[in-house]
Amino acid sequence: MSEIVITPLGTISPYTKGNMNCPGFLVEYNNKKILLDCGNGITRLLNFPEDLKDLNVIITHYHKDHFGDLGALQYASYVYHNLELLDKKIKIYMPKNDFAFNKTSITSNNESYSNYYDIDNSYSFLVDDLNISFEDNNSHTIESYMVKLQNQYFKIIYTSDIGTTNLNKLVDFCKNADLIICESSFLKKHNANSRTHMTACDAGILASKSNAQKLLLTHFWPEEDKRLYLEEAQQNFRNVEVAEEGKKLVLRQL
């Protein structure tokens, strides 16, 4: 049996509130870990030093709500290595092109036990047989990468921050996914007129057009009731959940 465990660590943006953190999802597969974004507050839900072992960190873009806790993670790796409790560097994958010197500030951190890797549309890497690949969605305010995690059993998409200006390309990337973890920053009632973020309605349309099996909503406005996102997405796609910090989602295939 093959199993992937996905734990939301942060589900709101652009700031933390109560027990909710900025974006981050921990994916566990064959005792290895993939962290999809490292937003403000998520490290309080990680188990140190265990979660630093065999850890791959993916930063999808250089907006601070998506990497705000990376400095804490880097320093934790440095300290636990010095305590001889971490013998393998954490791997940090980030967009190749810098933005506002954010990448430079991350890679110049000397108090970190980390290796760094550049991602672009042509880059991919393996975690055992799980292939991790990327595509710039070309619909956010800056370069922002969708992430695909795929093997013979599973196809999981993490959209990160996306808009609606490139919908056909987004659908192609998400086609026949077992799970789409999709941003849904707004509700239709907000009348935000944003084409660089999605509403819950847009997320439902993306899942439907992609023939996905399941949709997990995330990237909520902190002051809003998450149930409203669920209800709005379900107008276009039925199998929807809202991400909650610490609530694990397990995918299994025999």
Q: Are 24 and 245 in contact (CB under 8 A)?
A: no
Per residue in 125-139, pLDDT tens? 999 999 999 999 999
- Cα distances from 32 to residues 57, 81, 90, 179, in angstroms, run 11, 18, 11, 19
> Which residues neighbour 186 within 8 Å (Cβ) at sequence distance 6 or greater?
192, 194, 197, 198, 199, 200, 221
CATH for 163? 3.60.15.10
Domain of residue 196: give its range. 2-253
Interatomic CA distance for residues 203 and 215, integer angstroms? 8
> What pLDDT does 117 receive?
98
Pairing of strands 215-218, 179-183: parallel
Q: What's the pLDDT tens digit per position in 187-237?
A: 999 988 788 999 999 999 999 999 999 999 999 999 999 999 999 999 999
pLDDT in tens, 42-96: 999 999 999 999 999 999 999 999 999 999 999 999 999 999 999 999 999 999 9
The 3-state DSSP class for residue 112 equals coil
d(CA 143, CA 25): 20
Cα–Cα dist 98/81, whole Å: 28
Total domains in the fold of the chain: 1
**155-158/179-183 β-pairing:** parallel
